[in-house]
Amino acid sequence: MAGAPGDTAVPLPLDGRHALVTGAGRGIGAAIAAALAARGARLTLLGRTRATLEATATQLPPQSVRHLAACDVVDEQQVSAAVAAARDVQGPIDILVNNAGQARSAPFLKTDLATWRATLDVNLTGVFLCTRACLPDMLASGRGRIVNIASVAGLTGHPYIAAYCASKHGVIGLTRALARELAPKDITVNAVCPGYTDTDMVRQAVANIRAKTGRTEAEAIAALTERNPQRRLVSPAEVAATVLWLCLPGAESVTGQSITLAGGEIM
């Protein structure tokens, strides 16, 4: 029994590893932070709103959250400053989870240029900027894990979310290119591709469907999950468990993959 005379506590598998999670204030990001913390990682939580990050941090083991950074991932200077501050507080970054994202729906001809650019900026350029800022630490240490939260929309087409589909296809392309480039360096790069997940973003989509069609909440959710053979929303905890597996010892040979969590929607 741990703590008995002569016994030595068994270290957790991510003890000493510094993990930076973007979009960490709620939903999938908060679930990922909790999963990594439970395995011993030291966390930097990054998001747009500090108050949201602070609320998430209160739900995590106090020793796990060493740094919070309010940062817009589309701003190069903010990203560089946030990563530098995280490094100063708790050392080089070993794990990066690019989770920050946004989605807006509209028919293609009603998708204006501002929406197109904003979606690609957050979902794709944000991944580029955060990865570029964190990668030197991994190269210097000779190891690293990068996990990009993409979507089934990065693997197939969906109507009314052209910009979102394009951005997530881009994330998967970036994942594959970087995985090839970094394979000799013991740095893995993978994408996790959930279907519709029970988050604030999807709840807003449900509200929009109800407002426009008069459907009930159950009917709106059914419309979103009709492609999922399990006919349900994915839970943030399921996404977090997959991210955690990719970061744990034993997944060293898994790189360049797009792992789908969508109840059999994509096979």
Active-site residues: which are they? 164
CA angle 30, 19, 263 (to 5 degrees): 50
Closest C-alpha to 103, from 211, 217, 206, 256: 206
The one-letter code for the residue type at 186 is D
Residue pair 123/167 in contact (Cβ under 8 Å)? The answer is yes
* End-to-end CA, the chain: 44
E strand or H helix at 192, and its extent? strand 187-194
Strand-pair category, 95-98 with 144-149: parallel
Phi, psi of 212 (to 5 degrees): -85, -25
Token pair of 38 as six digits: 């439970």
Residues 6+ apart with CB under 8 A from 147: 95, 96, 97, 98, 189, 190, 191, 192, 243, 246, 247
Token pair of 18 as six digits: 């510094």
Residue pair 39/13 in contact (Cβ under 8 Å)? The answer is yes
Residues 6+ apart with CB under 8 A from 186: 142, 143, 144, 252
